[in-house]
Amino acid sequence: MLACWGPWYTPNGYYMYRVYNKQPEISSGTDSTNPDASRNCREWQRLTSDTIPLEDIYDIVYTIPLEEFEKIYDNRDADYSNKFIEWITEKDSAILDFLLLAKTNEYIRFQRNSRWYYPSMRVGARMTIEEIAEKALSVNEPKLRDRYLLQAIRALFTLGRYEECVELWNAEVVNLPADNLMRKLIQPYIAGTEFRLNHSDKAITYFAEMGDIESMLFCAGRTGEQISTVEALEMVCEYAPNSTYIEKTLQSFIRDIEPLGEYYWEDEYYFSIEIQRLYSLCLRMAKGGKSDNPAMWYYTAAFLSDFKGDIDEASRLIGLAEKCKKSDFMEESIKIFRIYIDAKTLPYNTSYERKLLTQLQWLDTMIINNIDEKVRQETASGYKLDNCESYYYWNDMLRRIVLAEICPRMLKAGKHTRALQLANMADNRLLGLVNKREVTDWNWTDDGDYYETTGIYTMSGYRYSQSFNSHDYSDHFFEMVDSLGADTAIDYLRSVERPASDLDRYLNERGYTERDYLNDIAGTQCLRSMRYEEAVKYLGAVSEAYKDHLNVRMEYDPFSIEPRAIEPHGDFRYDFACRMHALEQNISLTTEPNRKARLIMEYTTGLCNSFNNCWELTQYYRGCSYWGQVCEKRQWEVDDFTRAAVARSEEYFNLACEIATDDEVAAELNYALCNYKTVAEKYPNTTKGELVRGQCDNLCDYNAMPINPKTYSWQLGGY
């Protein structure tokens, strides 16, 4: 990675595998390393008031020590800056009583668990641990009952009254919802009690449900043993086939081996063994009847089959997953994988395009329905989207499937317009929904430093900005249309203007089809292909407002052999196209050889410069590392367009020299090309010949070998 820079990613690096439905934590001042604490604070907020900040709740529940809380408890009429305390002292003293008991319980348990504790020691609390257990069991407060159960079991566990812990679990706790937080916090104590009662299998089952592998190994007499992730999954599946640990671990493991585009490398031998073992486990769990979620196991097996390159088996297994009963979340993941598998396997015919339209409509709906403020902010900034970084699953999947799978196959099948339509939607759909782009312009000071200015322009009712816009000229759609040639760019523009099918209309509506943008691309492609009459047509259709939005400015006169600075202006491409087209017409009409030679030389000079020091005429970037994902890979010096321009410039240069009959004209042509020896030897009595012979500063050039037009003509206008 470059210093002070970051990597960019390829579309096939987006994570697709998804089985764990983790909800994002609400931002607060709670302990970010303890999700249970964050959830507990939110539940306290639900029991009191949503106007109470989570930070205030966390401070009272987790931070304030017992001594300070006792002062609050005994002096309830005091003024406090904490809104949680204000609420429970004024409106719900039952919560205040509970928190005193809970903090006293923790204080005593901490003292008793010390290695220096002796039974005869006084712990300095207003209640004993026995009294805490008794009170916790006797309080009849329905909304706090599960919390009192937790305190009772903690106290009983500390007292070693393990049978009573199990009785409470069986009598009350198991009746709580499976996702109840207090039940989750009680379960480790029950697992510990079962082990102490010599019920190892029950203990292992409870630990398996929690995903506590180390405790499982301890209960099984395998203390300190190291096992692989897949072996741990096998153990959990044996004892608790529906543990949430399985979903979390599967997702973590698969994402460690899921390809990361061009930046993917792993130990293939190690993972081939682990993958095969996990694949076998998936099939056993899917078919065995022990799991409540066979769809997840078939989906995982299908994913691993695709990872191993067995696409047909992946398609078969995902079909089995589709037939299983499943949650909405799992169904969505399976649908995404089905779209992906279809893109890799189905023939790209009319039938597939009808199916693709239905699939894209569903995926587009998911993109729309799941946008939140965080997605809007990330999209508006543009940085992550420009670099293919993952931040929104649904848009990630659109880009991965379309850009990494469908578009390459469409291009290979010769369906260039369809590939461009799809790439445009993948790159620009989310931008269009968010309806704004924030772009940054780098402004350089006289001292060589830079500062940033930011502007926003919308996609509908487009307001052009002079700020630097890396997205429009570095995304995959642009790279594709800019590299396929003028005919493809023109065909795509026509498809936007005259859609021929429902899929055409659907994709065009969800892409960035601003006519100025597309006309400029088509016109620039025509300049690159030396089709100047067509370039005049398309560049002439670009509005004046858009010409200030090109991100590039031409600084030199394209018709000057030596670099000559000019005042930058927005019409530089259109003006160049008009002049080159006029030169072509004049060359074809002119019969006087010397005038024709001068016109040809002017034309050749413009042609050479348009690919050299006036490269902005035919390109949008050169030698820049900040263009993002794809464009910096282009090697303009060796591509087909450049080769064709080189060939034409050589042909025209030779033609100009051949048809010139006037020595003065011939001398001027060779002098312009720095062929000073030729000028001095062949045309010594011309104006340029006398100038060369009288300039001693050019002695080195005079004595040099004659210039070979095939190797030198391309250096016209170079530095």
pLDDT in tens, 480-499: 998 899 999 999 999 999 99
Amino acid identity at 623: G
- Sorting pLDDT into bands at 50, 70 and 90, what band is 160? very high
Q: What is the pLDDT, as a whole number, of residue 620?
A: 82
DSSP of 348-414: -SHHHHHHHHHHHHHHHHHHHHT--HHHHHHHHH-HHHHTT----HHHHHHHHHIIIIIHHHHHHTT
CA distance 152 to 635: 73
CA atoms in the 13 A half-sphere facing the CB of 456:
12
Give the residue with greater pLDDT, 439 vs 377.
377
User: For 48, how many CA atoms within 13 A lie in the half-sphere containing its CB?
Assistant: 26
Confidence (pLDDT) at 714: 44
Side chain identity, residue 89: T
pLDDT computed for residue 624 by the predictor: 53
Cα–Cα dist 370/63, whole Å: 36
pLDDT at 443 over 50: no
Top-confidence residue, 368 or 628? 368
Q: Which residue has the higher pLDDT, 446 or 427?
A: 427
Mean of pLDDT over the chain? 85
**Structure letter (DSSP) for residue 175:** G
Output the pLDDT for position 439: 41
pLDDT band at 459 (very low <50, low <70, confident <90, very high): very low
Please tell me which residue, 105 or 117, carries the higher pLDDT value.
105
Residues in the chain: 719
Report the C-alpha gap between 201 and 672 in whole angstroms: 94
Q: How far from the centroid of its chain's Cα atoms is residue 518's Cα?
A: 25
Q: What is the pLDDT of residue 263?
A: 44
pLDDT above 50: residue 462: no
Torsion, CA 110, CA 113, CA 116, CA 118, rounded to 10:
100
Residue 119, pLDDT score: 59
At residue 467, does pLDDT exceed 70? Answer: no
Going by pLDDT thresholds of 50, 70 and 90, the confidence category of residue 355 is very high
Q: What percent of the chain has pLDDT over 70?
A: 83
User: Which of 67-76, 80-89, 456-465, 508-517 has the weakest average pLDDT?
Assistant: 456-465
Chain segment 19-65, per-residue pLDDT in tens: 999 765 544 555 556 788 999 999 999 999 999 999 999 999 999 99
Which amino acid is residue 10, in one-letter code?
A: T
pLDDT at 374 over 70: yes
Helix, strand or coil, per DSSP, at residue 187: helix
Q: Are 587 and 599 in contact (CB under 8 A)?
A: yes
Q: Is the pTM of this model over 0.75?
A: yes
Q: What is the mean pLDDT of residues 422-448?
A: 69
Rounded to 10 degrees, the C-alpha dihedral 429/434/435/439 comes to -100
Query: Which helix H or strand E contains 650, and what residues bound it?
Result: helix 640-659
450-457 and 437-444: which strand pairing? antiparallel
In this predicted model, which residue has the larger pLDDT, 1 or 233?
Answer: 233
What pLDDT, on a 0 to 100 scale, did the predictor assign at position 670? 83
pLDDT band with cut points at 50, 70 and 90 for residue 318? very high
522 or 256, higher pLDDT: 522
pLDDT range class, residue 565, cuts 50, 70, 90: very high
- Ordered DSSP codes for 534-559: HHHHHHHTS-TTGGGGSS----B-TT
pLDDT at position 267 is: 44
Q: Are 654 and 670 in contact (CB under 8 A)?
A: no
Burial class (CB in 10 A: 0-12, 13-18, 19+), 711: exposed
The Cα-based distances of 298 to 21, 275, 303, 322, 393 in angstroms read: 17, 14, 9, 9, 21
Q: Does 461 have pLDDT greater than 60? A: no
Return the CA Rg of the chain.
37
Report whether pLDDT(441) > 50. no
